[in-house]
Amino acid sequence: MIRSFLAACLVAACLLVSWQPAGAADGKTHVLWLGQAAAKITTPGGKVIVIDPFLVKNPKTPAKYKDLSALGHVDLILVTHAHFDHVADAPALAKLNKAPMWGPPGMADTFVTLGVLPAELAPRMNKGGQAHPLGPDITITMVRAEHSSELKWVDPMTGKEQLFNGGQPCGWIITMENGFKLYHMGDTGLFGDMQLIADYYKPQLIMIPIGGHFVLSPVDAAYATNTWLKPKFAIPIHYATIPVLKGTPAEYMQALGSGSGTKVFPINPGDELTF
């Protein structure tokens, strides 16, 4: 009897040691790339932020993440613009977690007007603004991106896909509890204010699109990285999801050259990095 009680205690103790809730605070920033521009960020304090959730129909997303509940609890959703390969699962994820979806204000307004999201899950801010939806220790900053943001959505009144106002595209800088800054650039071409963003916000890690055609090519991305942004770390994203996104991490790294001060992580969807 005592022996089985002790065994049960031992099992319970092991569970306590090995069990970590999703989004456990370990003092580090975790970046889980999920294909295209989608990423799950766990902050040093354990908050979970999902950026550009295009998962269910994303051919590059690992199968297990096509179930939105597999992300665990999500505290905040950030969307860079209203194109399907960025916003597709955002409203569903917001409702599943009762977590706010921050994105271009025009896009937020459209989702509220269409009845897709209640206003409290689609708050408004704009480029150049900062907000603290997760408390004072984490800052989100909306910055410029050179792209467009039409919203194609099934109109609940007609049942047909229609084009709506999706506001203007943006990038997001997340300043973590320990000051570490991640700049998710969204979809963008080159623009000179990348220099301003680098000088003013000084992000250490960029998630940079490299596929070309709709966004930076590997050569464009290397120019922005070496000339303006000069981050410590870069994760190339938004390539190979569809055939026209031809740019590769190898081309990006070759264009950066051996003298670049930026360390590139050419990871695969489903890989997680810790900073």
Given the rule CB under 5 A, which residues bind Zn ion? 85, 187
Instruction: Output the CA–CA distances (angstroms, integers) from residue 264 to 91, 97, 135, 156, 205, in the order listed.
Output: 32, 32, 31, 43, 10
Q: Are 149 and 167 in contact (CB under 8 A)?
A: yes
Determine contact, residues 141/175, Cβ cutoff 8 Å.
Answer: yes
User: Which helix H or strand E contains 56, and what residues bound it?
Assistant: none
Rounded to a whole number of angstroms, the distance between the first and last alpha carbons of the chain is: 47
For residue 209, the minimal CB distance to Zn ion (Å) is 7
The CB-of-255 to Zn ion minimum distance in angstroms stands at 21
Q: Alpha-carbon distance 101 to 94, whole Å?
A: 6
Closest CA to 174 of 100, 77, 65: 77
Name residue 116's amino acid: V
- Which residue, 132 or 152, has its beta carbon nearer to Zn ion? 152
Q: Distance between CA 32 and CA 38 in Å, rounded?
A: 9
Residue type (1 letter), 46 = G
Identify the helix (H) or strand (E) that includes residue 1. none
Vertex 113: Cα angle to 52 and 105 (nearest 5) = 45
Least distance CB 81 / Zn ion (angstroms): 8
Of the pair 186, 249, the CB lying nearest Zn ion is at: 186
Closer CB to Zn ion, 32 or 79, in the complex: 79
Q: Least Å distance between CB 241 and Zn ion?
A: 8
Q: Looking at beta carbons only, is 85 or 251 nearer to Zn ion?
A: 85
| Residue 44 vs 166, nearer CB to Zn ion | 166
* 24 versus 56: smaller Cβ distance to Zn ion: 56
Least spacing, CB of residue 50 vs Zn ion, in Å = 16
**Least distance from Zn ion to the Cβ atom of residue 18, Å:** 38
